């Protein structure tokens, strides 16, 4: 069964890495795992740069023109060759889907959304035009897959509860671990990193992974630097990431510069070994939707210290696979690091990896997508 897929914020095959691109690619992989044939219907990016009504109307016009072309294209195909449903990933007032609702209506196919964020406070003000369009798309949806519990709460007022489907953030864990169900060799990884970066293999290693850009990512780095100043136990912190705010990030860590090792940006295939080598993954998660890096760390058995922003509590089991504190509370964050470093971590690592595989693997996501799509299309799919 062919599924038209669209991500108005960033297409899954966009050259620039990001969490959105990662989740988009995972959704495509989960659809394939479920027996579907997803096709990227459009790569039009409708992310607003500001609150200009002119820009909002420009994207609306581009979207409607794209929709008209797709409708004409699909109508020329035999019905069996057309998409049987449309799935849009990450819909909100700043990245409206101007295409999918029109195509789905014209072809009489179900319209679905994964990760929809409804913002009632935008019902008045300069974003009203886009807010109303995003809300209309959500109301049209036959189902909305909720990756973030906070988003689900906001949708209850406009979408029937039966249409809201829980889809916890997920990874293709086997693929991420390169087919090794036990994950990378932690001892070998620590040996290699200690030699390459002159790290002390007998000291606890903390790890942070995040793009270095202004906004929430930079705020998280600032909060992390402040929190680590107050950690009383010995540690070294490894930082993986790069970006336009790198100088500001490095400046924030000046007070603990001797404890910081900058690994810069790493290829995705190198990350599992780095995650597994760390004792703790540390990330304040300021305004984080859920944070794929937190999930990647746990898939490698590394417990997480994080701020309980957005959907983070849905990924990190507080007291089991990590420890959560109030977002931005650097004192509590530091206390959690000290507390964790006093624990015997080997059994916690086993629990952490098992939890990720049980609740956040692609197999469970594929099953959820398959069950819902079969229900709304009335068609069965053979995997």
- Identify the CATH number of the domain in which residue 87 sits: 3.40.50.2000
* Over residues 359-378, mean pLDDT: 96
Same domain, 122 and 234: no
State residue 291's pLDDT score. Answer: 86
Query: Whole-prediction pTM value?
Result: 0.88
- The percent of residues above 90 in pLDDT, for the chain, comes to 90
| Predicted confidence (pLDDT) per residue in 89-108, tens digit | 999 999 999 999 999 999 99
| Confidence at 274, pLDDT banded by 50, 70, 90 | very high
Same domain, 298 and 239: yes
Same domain, 195 and 155: no
The number of beta carbons lying within 10 Å of the beta carbon of residue 107 is 20
Look at the chain and report how many structural domains it folds into.
Answer: 2
State residue 181's pLDDT score. Answer: 84
State residue 248's pLDDT score. Answer: 98
State residue 65's pLDDT score. Answer: 98
| Confidence at 16, pLDDT banded by 50, 70, 90 | confident
Structural domain of 265: 178-359
| Predicted confidence (pLDDT) per residue in 295-317, tens digit | 999 999 999 999 999 889 999 99
| Predicted confidence (pLDDT) per residue in 222-273, tens digit | 999 999 999 999 999 999 999 999 999 999 999 999 999 999 999 989 999 9
State residue 157's pLDDT score. Answer: 83
The number of beta carbons lying within 10 Å of the beta carbon of residue 188 is 12
State residue 150's pLDDT score. Answer: 86
Same domain, 344 and 355: yes
Q: Would you tell me the crossing angle of helices 53-75 and 128-140 to the nearest 10 degrees?
A: 30
Same domain, 102 and 120: yes
State residue 238's pLDDT score. Answer: 98
Higher pLDDT, 156 or 4: 4
Same domain, 301 and 234: yes
Lowest average pLDDT, out of 28-37, 257-266, 287-296, goes to 287-296
Same domain, 148 and 12: yes
Higher pLDDT, 123 or 95: 95
């Amino acid at each position: 069964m062919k599924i038209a897929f669209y991500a108005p914020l960033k297409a899954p095959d966009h050259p620039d890495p990001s969490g959105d691109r990662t989740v988009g690619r995972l959704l495509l992989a989960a659809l394939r795992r479920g027996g579907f044939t997803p096709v990227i219907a459009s790569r039009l990016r409708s992310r607003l740069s500001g609150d200009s009504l002119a820009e909002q109307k420009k994207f609306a016009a581009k979207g409607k023109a794209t929709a008209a072309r797709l409708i004409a294209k699909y109508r020329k195909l035999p019905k069996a060759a057309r998409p049987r449903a449309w799935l849009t990933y990450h819909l909100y007032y700043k990245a409206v889907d101007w295409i999918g609702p029109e195509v789905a209506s014209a072809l009489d196919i179900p319209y679905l959304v994964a990760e929809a964020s409804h913002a009632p406070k935008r019902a008045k003000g300069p974003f009203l035009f886009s807010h109303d369009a995003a809300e209309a798309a959500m109301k049209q949806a036959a189902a909305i897959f909720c990756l973030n519990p906070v988003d689900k709460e906001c949708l209850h007022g406009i979408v029937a509860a039966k249409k809201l489907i829980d889809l916890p953030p997920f990874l293709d864990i086997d693929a991420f671990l390169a087919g090794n169900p036990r994950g990378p060799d932690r001892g070998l990884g620590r040996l290699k990193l200690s030699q390459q970066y002159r790290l002390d293999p007998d000291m606890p290693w903390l790890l942070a992974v995040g793009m270095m850009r202004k906004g929430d990512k930079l705020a998280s780095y600032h909060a992390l630097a402040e929190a680590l100043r107050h950690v009383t136990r010995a540690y070294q912190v490894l930082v993986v990431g790069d970006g336009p705010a790198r100088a500001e990030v490095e400046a924030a860590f000046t007070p603990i510069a001797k404890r910081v090792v900058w690994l810069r940006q790493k290829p995705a295939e190198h990350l599992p070994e780095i995650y597994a080598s760390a004792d703790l993954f540390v990330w304040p998660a300021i305004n984080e939707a859920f944070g794929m890096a937190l999930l990647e760390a746990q898939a490698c058995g590394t417990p997480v210290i994080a701020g309980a922003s957005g959907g983070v509590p849905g990924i990190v089991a507080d007291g089991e696979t990590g420890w959560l504190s109030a977002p931005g509370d650097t004192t509590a964050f530091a206390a959690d690091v000290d507390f964790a470093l006093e624990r015997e971590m080997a059994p916690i690592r086993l629990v952490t990896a098992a939890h990720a595989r049980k609740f956040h693997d692609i197999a469970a996501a594929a099953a959820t997508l398959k069950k819902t799509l079969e229900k709304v299309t009335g068609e069965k799919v053979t995997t």
